[in-house]
Structure 1
Amino acid sequence: MKKVLFTTVLFLTACAVSAQESVVKEAKSAKSDPVKAAQIIEPALVDPSTANDPETWKLAGDFQKAIYDEENMKLYLPGGQADTSKLYNSLVKMFEYYTKCDEVEQAKVKSGELKKPKLRKKLSKTLATVRPNLTNGGSDAYNSGNYANALKFFGLYVDAAENPMFEEEDAVKNDTLTPLIACYAALAANSLNDKDAVVKYATVGKSHKEEGYRALMCLAEAYGKGENPDSTQWLATIKEGTERFPSQEYFIGNLMDYYIQKGRIDDGLTEIDQVLAKNETPYFLYVKGVLQYEKKDYDAAIATFNSIIAKNSDFVAEAYSKIGDCYFFPAQVIVEENSKISMDDPKYAANEAKIKEYYEKARPNYEKAKELKPDNRQLWGQYLLNIYWKLNKAEYDALEKELTM
């Protein structure tokens, strides 16, 4: 009985192998219709009896190449209407199938089943020729919000540069465009919250001289958010960004926030002075003023904010608001003190006078911020309301009504 069962199993296995070989033959006979042939051969790509044959993958790639060539030709014909979805889909599959073909063939060479690869040179040359079109497919997908497809296209482009299959293809191996496309891959991965892909592609993309900052931003986001943020890697990435792209506000702003949170104000001031020595912008001056404010060096902060106002460029409303803060918040310390002493205490009256003095100095600065940016109520809203409550009840009523509208 055991012998009969064993024979049956062998028979069924032989039938399965024969069936998949038949699928390959049927696909070959349908090659004049590559779309149909591509559908026919699909089962052979997952069955071990045929999937371990490099010729199976080459044939599947050939069908995709035929589909791609047909649609690509329409782009150059007068009045031609190419199906770009079909075009780019076949391009991706061609890349995947030819790459898999090389992988299977190399495995057979390594095992001794084949003496040397026969297909790599031709396939790598074919893929090197069509590879630039992956960027077009990626751009179309990204612009339409299909970030998964964008990542697939851009990723294939970047991955090719490290694939041994292309070691003799200088156009791929020495492609200076690779870091730029890696930036785009990182952006797509960031939109998908795919941390692993962000790290993979941003690590390549950050080397691009002009656009590398985008990759570093994505890398910082990946390390800084999620269930398991990596504060060490985040800080290293932010610092790398400030060094390599000192004009990018994102890195300086985040680094200064870090110094403030950690109470390392002096470290922040030292670093921002170094930045300002190379590139003085209103934003970087504003950052310095905020650090001085956090240090409670109010006179120095006011001087820095006034230098921003004098430039009459960006961050003027913010500078006026922070000057207001330099008077308003010291007043709050006195308000807190007065809440703990008797109104009959002579110090209470002296404190009240000081509060009003600070409020009078803060008031015109918040009002100027309101004039410049009436929609940004965070700059002036509650502060002015508090000041008007103390100084002018009519103005308080009017502003309270405005803020509730």
Structure 2
Amino acid sequence: MKRILFITMIAIFSMGTVFAQKSALRDAKRALGKDDLGEARTLIKQAATNPETANDPETWKVMGDIGNKAFDAERVKAALGQGHNEKAMHDGLLESYLPYLKADSLSELPDEKGKVKNKVRKDVSSILRSNHPFYINGGVFYNSQKDYAKAADFFEIYWNIPTLPLYEGQKESFVLDSTYQSIKYYAIVSAITAEQHERALRMLERVASEPFIENPAFKETDVYELMAEEYKTLGDSVKFVQTLYKGAEKFPSSSYFLLNLINVFIKEGKPENALQYLDQAIANDPSNACDLNSVKGALLAEKKDYTNAEVEYKKALAHDPNCERALENLARNYMIQAQELKETTATLSRQQQVENDKKTIDYYQQALPLLENLDKILKGRSAAQQEINAILLLLRNAYYNLSVLGVDKSDQLKAIEDQLDLE
């Protein structure tokens, strides 16, 4: 008899616990109906953390309704021109999103008979559809507050909503236009600004996999450029180079991918690969001859192909006579050849030495006007003294060697040494 009484008491206690939790859910709904959102939040948190009600779709539907009511209350005030709390408005909107999704997800689980009876989807899908545009406002607000991570949350939700299972087969529910595409970019940039680089990469991979819509915020090439930069930021050199290859293949007219690949090849000591992409870069952007042709000339010079290097430097100077890189590199090109001739002179016959000296003098004299012009350009733009001194040393070298070879440049040599403060 005592045992039966004990079991009965346990059963009654268990039923009381379940009832208490169901009561918390019911009381939360009652508080929500009275617009007592503070009390409603406290009660629904109890229901959400208790095993008896944590998996009840109604619990999460009510939690979403609480956030949505906070949003609606402030939105109505704003529409009427009354004093409203903008932060509370946006926070309510954000507060509603995940609980609504969980309510719908739980409602999609089959019951003990294997049937799905989703009683919340109609209401949830209607609310999220109506609230969809306001997530843009939330992102803009938190961007203005410099809370970029939260701004990214709002923009990403705006991006996510049309893709939710709730709207499968309902393409007409949303207008996926240039604004929609632009918000994807704002979500990515906000995440990058918040230094959430892994998150930004996930977004970038996602946007690259989706159809691109022309918009005023960004171009399709920007997606891959940002992706490459994010991999670089994270120190993933393999993915960085892979993205460069992908971008160069997909956007052959973009200089970003080509120039970065060229730099990678140069650093890796692969001049032939660099030259291959340089030709494509030059063809794409002939207006950038000063940089591109100068780099090509330098790569050829490294291979001791001085003749073709000279051709590239002269192409750069034909486009921009004041191209500093081409002026310096072409002068060096002549001086290197002069130095190599000097080093062979001792092994030659007297007649050959005379011919060698003539060629050597010619190389130094061709270098002089380039260096003198560059010296003027650097001083004209008030370049750093270290930069100017580097050119003065080259000039000193040329004047000295010409003087040794019988071309009197003693006055010019002294003037250079005075500038360098050499005794």
Fold agreement, TM-score > 0.5: yes
For the residue of structure 1 that corresponds to 2:118, the secondary structure is coil
The 1:273/1:333 distance shift into structure 2, 3 A limit, reads: closer
Q: Distance in 1 between matches of 2:213 and 2:270?
A: 31
Residue in 1 that maps onto 2:123:
122
The 1:266/1:34 distance shift into structure 2, 3 A limit, reads: farther
- Kindly, what percent of the aligned residue pairs are identical? 22
Kindly report which structure 2 residues correspond to 1:26-105, keeping only aligned pairs within 5 A, or say none: 26-31=27-32, 32-36=34-38, 37-78=40-81, 80-105=82-107
Report if the CA contact (8 A) 1:198-1:218 is conserved.
Answer: no
Q: Which of 286, 289, 294 does residue 289 from structure 1 map onto?
A: 294
- Size of the aligned set, in residue pairs, is 384
Residue in 1 that maps onto 2:408:
none
Residue in 2 that maps onto 1:224:
232
1:384 is the counterpart of 2:385:
no
* Consecutive unaligned residues in structure 1, runs of 5 or more: 311-315, 401-405
Q: Distance in 2 between matches of 1:8 and 1:211?
A: 70
Residue in 2 that maps onto 1:321:
325
Residue in 2 that maps onto 1:235:
241
Name the aligned partner's letter for residue 232 of structure 2: G
Which region of structure 1 is more displaced relative to structure 2, 389-398 or 296-305? Answer: 389-398
For the residue of structure 1 that corresponds to 2:326, the secondary structure is helix
The 1:399/1:93 distance shift into structure 2, 3 A limit, reads: farther
The 1:90/1:247 distance shift into structure 2, 3 A limit, reads: farther
The 1:320/1:136 distance shift into structure 2, 3 A limit, reads: same
Residue in 1 that maps onto 2:382:
374
Residue in 2 that maps onto 1:24:
25
Q: Distance in 2 between matches of 1:208 and 1:397?
A: 63
Residue in 2 that maps onto 1:313:
none
Residue in 1 that maps onto 2:140:
139
Q: Which of 256, 260, 263 does residue 266 from structure 2 map onto?
A: 260
The 1:116/1:26 distance shift into structure 2, 3 A limit, reads: closer
Q: Distance in 1 between matches of 2:326 and 2:6?
A: 87
Q: CA deviation at 1:216?
A: 1.4
**Cα displacement string for residues 139-188 of structure 1 (whole angstroms, at most 9, x for unaligned residues):** 33335432211221122222334321221442567724444333322223
Name the aligned partner's letter for residue 159 of structure 2: V
Residue in 1 that maps onto 2:196:
194
Q: Distance in 1 between matches of 2:285 and 2:23?
A: 72
Name the aligned partner's letter for residue 282 of structure 1: S
1:107 is the counterpart of 2:112:
no
Q: Distance in 1 between matches of 2:147 and 2:115?
A: 41
Q: CA deviation at 1:34?
A: 4.9
Which region of structure 1 is more displaced relative to structure 2, 174-183 or 155-164? Answer: 174-183
1:364 is the counterpart of 2:372:
yes
Q: CA deviation at 1:45?
A: 2.4
CA RMSD of aligned residues (A): 4.1
Report if the CA contact (8 A) 1:272-1:284 is conserved.
Answer: no
Report if the CA contact (8 A) 2:372-2:395 is conserved.
Answer: no
Report if the CA contact (8 A) 2:188-2:200 is conserved.
Answer: yes
**Cα displacement string for residues 194-216 of structure 1 (whole angstroms, at most 9, x for unaligned residues):** 34322321123344544333321
Residue in 2 that maps onto 1:164:
165
Q: Distance in 1 between matches of 2:3 and 2:25?
A: 34
Report if the CA contact (8 A) 1:61-1:98 is conserved.
Answer: yes
Name the aligned partner's letter for residue 302 of structure 1: Y
The 1:266/1:5 distance shift into structure 2, 3 A limit, reads: farther
The 1:272/1:357 distance shift into structure 2, 3 A limit, reads: same
When normalised by structure 2's length, the TM-score is 0.74
Which region of structure 1 is more displaced relative to structure 2, 264-273 or 68-77? Answer: 264-273
For the residue of structure 1 that corresponds to 2:159, the secondary structure is helix
* Consecutive unaligned residues in structure 2, runs of 5 or more: 302-307, 400-412
Which region of structure 1 is more displaced relative to structure 2, 352-361 or 298-307? Answer: 352-361
For the residue of structure 1 that corresponds to 2:109, the secondary structure is helix
Name the aligned partner's letter for residue 280 of structure 1: D
The 1:284/1:321 distance shift into structure 2, 3 A limit, reads: closer
Which region of structure 1 is more displaced relative to structure 2, 194-203 or 330-339? Answer: 330-339
Q: CA deviation at 1:90?
A: 1.3
Q: Which of 218, 222, 244 does residue 214 from structure 1 map onto?
A: 222
When normalised by structure 1's length, the TM-score is 0.77
Residue in 2 that maps onto 1:300:
311
The 1:173/1:72 distance shift into structure 2, 3 A limit, reads: closer
Which region of structure 1 is more displaced relative to structure 2, 246-255 or 50-59? Answer: 246-255
1:154 is the counterpart of 2:155:
yes
Q: CA deviation at 1:6?
A: 9.0
Q: CA deviation at 1:127?
A: 0.7
Q: Distance in 2 between matches of 1:304 and 1:61?
A: 67
Report if the CA contact (8 A) 1:160-1:172 is conserved.
Answer: no
Q: CA deviation at 1:240?
A: 3.3
The 1:44/1:396 distance shift into structure 2, 3 A limit, reads: farther
Q: Distance in 2 between matches of 1:306 and 1:6?
A: 99
Name the aligned partner's letter for residue 58 of structure 1: K
**Cα displacement string for residues 235-274 of structure 1 (whole angstroms, at most 9, x for unaligned residues):** 3322333354456543232122123234444444444444
The 1:195/1:171 distance shift into structure 2, 3 A limit, reads: farther
For the residue of structure 2 that corresponds to 1:49, the secondary structure is coil
Report if the CA contact (8 A) 2:138-2:154 is conserved.
Answer: yes
For the residue of structure 1 that corresponds to 2:320, the secondary structure is helix
Name the aligned partner's letter for residue 241 of structure 1: G
